[in-house]
Copies of this chain bind each other. A is one copy, B any other.
Amino acid sequence: MTEERISLLDGAGGERMMELVEAVTRDILLDDGAVLEVPEFPVGGKLVFTTDAHVVSPYRFPGGDIGRLAACGTMNDLAVMGARPLFLACAVVMEAGFPRTEFEEIYRSLYAALDEVGCKLVAGDTKVVPSGDLDGIALTTSGVGVAQRVLYDSGLRPGDRIIVSGTLGDHGLAVLAAREGFAFQPPLRSDVAPVWSLVKAAMDVGEVTAAKDPTRGGLASALNEMARKSKVGIRLEEDAIPLRREVLAAARVLGTDPLDVANEGKVVLGVAERDAQAVLAALRRLPLGAQAAIIGEVVEGDAVTMRTSVGGERFVQPPVGDPVPRVC
C-alpha cells in the first residue's frame, strides 16, 4: 500500500483541492469568506472574515508583486461577499537570505493597494525558514469587513444576467509568461487590483444576486462553482467575453485557455435582469470597469455552456486545477 501524498494539483484551486479541504474541515461554508455571528454585535451589518495564502512565483511580475496580490486577494474575497474591506492582517514566511530591500518593497506595494480602498493593516507576524524552495517568500493575509447585505455564491436565479467587470486571463498569463521568460508584444500585465469599488457601484444601482472573483481556475471555475451552489445553469456568449488580443495570442502559444486561468482584479456578478443595464453602465464609469460586459444569463439546469463565435454550443468545464500553478 503506498501512502497518499499531496501534489501540486491539490493546491491549484479545483475539484481536487475542494475534496482535500472537505476531508479535513467540518461545516465550513466554502464561499469567499465567512460571516461571523457575534452575539455582542446584533445590529448594523454582518462581519465577514477571510484568509488567503499567497505563494505566487515569481513574486514580482509585470503589473504587480506578491505584496499587492496579497492585499488585493483578501480584500477581493471580502468585496465579493458584499463587505467593505476594513482591516487586514499579514503573516510573512520567508527564506533566510531574502533581500531586505525586496521585503520592504513588498510591504510598500501592500500598503499602496490597501490605500486604494481605505483598508488598514492592523496585525502581522514574521517567520524566517532556512533557504529552500519557497521561492523566497509567502504572504498570508486575513481580512475583516462589514457587509450591509451579504452576497453568497449560491444566490443566482434563472433570468439573472452574468456580468464581468473587464478582460479575462490577464493575471494568469502575465505570471506564466514572466515565469517562462516569454516576452509578448504588447507585453502582458497582471490585472491585480481591488474590486470593492466595482462591487459597491453595482450594489448601489441594482440587485446583485451573487458575486465571485475569478481567481484560481479562472472564469470557468468561478461560474461552475456559482452554478453548482445555486442549482442553476449558465449560458454564455463567447463573442461577449472581453479578452485582450495579446492575452488570447499568449494563451495559444502557451497552450492554455484564458477562461481557465486566474484574474486578480475582476469580479463576476449575477444581476437581476431588470437592473443589468444600469449595473453595466455603473461599472463602465469606473476605470477598472471600463470594459465590463454582460456575458450571459442564468438558466434552469445544471451546466455552464457557451454559444461559440461560429454558432455552436459547448460545455465550459472547470479545470481540475488552475493550469498555471502558483499563480496567487
A-B pairs with the 6 shortest C-beta distances? A132-B133, A11-B128, A142-B142, A132-B132, A34-B122, A40-B44
The residue from B41, B53, B123 contacting A49, defined by CB atoms under 8 A apart = B123
When distances are taken between beta carbons in the complex, the residues of chain B under 8 Å from A101 are 3-4
Spot the interface stretch: A16-24, A227-235, A263-271, A300-308.
A16-24
The residue from B23, B129, B140, B142 contacting A133, defined by CB atoms under 8 A apart = B129
A133 and B134 alpha carbons, distance in the complex (Å): 7
User: Is B51 a contact of A47 with CB atoms below 8 Å?
Assistant: no
Count of identical protomers in the assembly: 2
A63 and B159 alpha carbons, distance in the complex (Å): 56
Spot the interface stretch: A90-98, A172-180, A199-207.
A90-98
User: Is A138 a contact of B93 with CB atoms below 8 Å?
Assistant: yes
On chain A, the number of residues with a Cβ less than 8 Å from chain B's Cβ atoms is 78
Chain B CB within 8 A of A127 CB: yes
Chain B CB within 8 A of A292 CB: no
A37–chain B nearest beta-carbon distance, Å: 9
A59 and B140 alpha carbons, distance in the complex (Å): 19
By CB atoms of chain B within 10 A, which of A54, A89, A325 has the most? A89
Chain B CB within 8 A of A50 CB: yes
User: Is B107 a contact of A25 with CB atoms below 8 Å?
Assistant: yes
Excluding A25-B121, A49-B122, 20 further A-B contacts by CB distance (< 8 Å) are A4-B100, A5-B99, A6-B98, A6-B103, A7-B96, A24-B103, A34-B89, A36-B122, A38-B47, A38-B146, A40-B44, A49-B89, A49-B142, A51-B91, A53-B126, A53-B127, A55-B127, A89-B142, A128-B325, A131-B133
Chain B CB within 8 A of A86 CB: yes
When distances are taken between beta carbons in the complex, the residues of chain B under 8 Å from A45 are 40-41
When distances are taken between beta carbons in the complex, the residues of chain B under 8 Å from A33 are 123
User: Is B138 a contact of A99 with CB atoms below 8 Å?
Assistant: no
Interface residues of A in 33-76 (CB under 8 A from B): 33-34, 36, 38, 40-45, 47, 49-55
